Amino acid sequence: MRRYLVAWLLLLLAACSPPRVAGPGSTQPTETPFLRIVAPTPAFAAPPLAAPPTTSPPDYTPPTPAPTAPLGYVPPAAPTAVLQPTYLPPPGPSATLLPLTHTPAPQRPTPAIATPYPLPPTPTLAPPASPGRLLFSVPWPDTGPTADTPGIAVGRDGTLFVTDVAQPGMYRYRADGQPLGHWDIPPLPNGPPPPSQSPGPRTLAVAGDGSLYVPLWDGMRRLTPDGRLLGAWPASPPDGALSLAVGPDTTVYAVNSQRSQVSRLTADGAPLGAWNGPRPDEPFRAASAVAVGPDGTVYVADWGASRIHLFAPDGRFLSAWVGPPNGQADIYTPVALAAAPDGSVFVLEGRRRRVARFDPAGRLIEWWDGPADGDRPFSPYALAVTEGRIYIVDAANQRVQAYGYTPLGPPVPTLAATPPR
């Protein structure tokens, strides 16, 4: 330690001693001090660097560096789902299947007339069926190669009229089903000659005086029960008539299948007007049948809307029986109608293959859905009604069936037979 301190002192003394300079003529070199302290030279000062901008351009978004996993990182494996075995009950005796029951959903009451709607699906029948009493079943005569189905009507004395669709003619039967013969429908006076294969009528109607109204391709005819011509008029109003009815006041109603409208005519064929629907802005979807009650109420079946429209004799709309889904009436796709003397209305429902009976308020009383008197299912096409008896044309089995029914009461008073003006 002492040696180090002595060395430091010697070096310090040598540094502080002035240099010795050789005199003139001396050959000794100038002695350089062992340690010289030189003042530091000022360093070059570079200009300060400009500060970087603190804000980025308006459209500049600095990229976000993607996170990187450290080297050697292995993510943990996802847990594997454990499959549970499917449970199978032990074998046992088979369960007894109970019959399915259908409970319709509650429906809110709606106005009788509504906007036309698409055809609803076939609803399940709710009330119990009442097959009635089958009185007789008779086949209609061979109608040839034509596929048309005959029309049917019943006279005041109970005589049953069935149209001959193969040619312009009429078959007659007694009230017990016994045949009475056939007669040809006379041509129109001074009318065009009939075609070589003139089809017969598909519908007819019986008036209160017993006369028959029969539409053909060339016009309407009014005939006696034995086939004599009483009157005729051209085919313009009832052209394409699908259904006919005659009111107590001798007014004739015809459903035009081509125009889906109801024509109203006098007994001589003078037009009284036509209805395209219950209201101007609500036309019939597909008018299919017309019937007139003993009090003069006109019933029009609208197949496309599943409803029955009620009109006054002068054409004023009264009300409607609306089927599902917009109404509560148990009516579906009506294709034919008949009004009974007791005020009840018989409706042939095509999709259901049944004939339903309704009271004057539109409530379902009973229906007929067979039996099928043949090899094919019961397929009603046309019907006619008299007091205590209903006649149904079974198109699939080519038969006419007669059923009995119990009237609701005495016949409804008939509207006074005052011809319309």
Mean pLDDT of 365-385: 81
Mean pLDDT of 98-115: 39
Q: Can you give the pLDDT at residue 113?
A: 37
Local confidence band at 34 (pLDDT 50, 70, 90 cut-offs): very low
Per DSSP, the residues of 125-171 read P-SPP---EEEEEEEPPP-TT------EEE-TTS-EEEEETTTTEEE
pLDDT tens-digit series, residues 222-234? 999 999 999 988 7
Q: Can you give the pLDDT at residue 115?
A: 33
Mean pLDDT of 206-227: 91
Local confidence band at 104 (pLDDT 50, 70, 90 cut-offs): very low
Q: Tell me the range of 38-47, 187-196, 388-397 where mean pLDDT is highest.
A: 388-397
The better pLDDT of the pair 8, 394 is held by 394
Residue 19 has pLDDT above 80, yes or no: no
The better pLDDT of the pair 305, 25 is held by 305
Mean pLDDT of 251-280: 88
Residue 189 has pLDDT above 70, yes or no: yes
Q: Can you give the pLDDT at residue 105?
A: 40
Share of the chain above pLDDT 70, in %: 64
Stretch among 86-100, 136-150, 348-362, 400-414 having the lowest mean pLDDT: 86-100
Dihedral pair phi/psi, residue 306, rounded to 5°: 55, 60
8 Å CB contact between 385 and 219: no
What does the alpha-carbon distance between residue 131 and residue 228 come to, in Å, rounded to a whole number?
38
| Residue 211 identity (one-letter amino acid) | S
Name beta bridge partners: 354. 349
Mean pLDDT of 63-90: 55
Q: Can you give the pLDDT at residue 252?
A: 93
Mean pLDDT of 328-343: 90
Mean pLDDT of 100-117: 38
Angle at 104 between CA 99 and CA 107, to 5 degrees: 175
Mark residue 210 as left, alpha or beta (left: phi above 0; alpha: psi -120 to 50; beta: remaining). left
Angle at 345 between CA 344 and CA 346, to 5 degrees: 125
8 Å CB contact between 118 and 171: no
Local confidence band at 17 (pLDDT 50, 70, 90 cut-offs): low
Q: H or E segment at 4?
A: helix 2-16
- For 328, other C-beta atoms within 10 Å of its C-beta total 15
Query: Mean of the per-residue pLDDT values for the chain?
Result: 75
Q: H or E segment at 6?
A: helix 2-16
Residue 274 has pLDDT above 50, yes or no: yes
Mean pLDDT of 239-248: 83
Enter the pTM of the model: 0.67
Local confidence band at 16 (pLDDT 50, 70, 90 cut-offs): low
Q: Can you give the pLDDT at residue 419?
A: 53
Residue 87 has pLDDT above 60, yes or no: no
Local confidence band at 211 (pLDDT 50, 70, 90 cut-offs): very high
The better pLDDT of the pair 418, 5 is held by 5
Residue 201 has pLDDT above 80, yes or no: yes
Q: Tell me the range of 48-62, 68-82, 250-264 where mean pLDDT is highest.
A: 250-264
Q: Can you give the pLDDT at residue 52?
A: 53
Local confidence band at 337 (pLDDT 50, 70, 90 cut-offs): very high
The better pLDDT of the pair 308, 50 is held by 308
Q: What is the DSSP letter of 250?
A: S
Share of the chain above pLDDT 90, in %: 28
**How many CA atoms are closer than 13 Å to the CA of 269, on its beta-carbon side?**
17
Q: Can you give the pLDDT at residue 90?
A: 53
Residue 106 has pLDDT above 80, yes or no: no
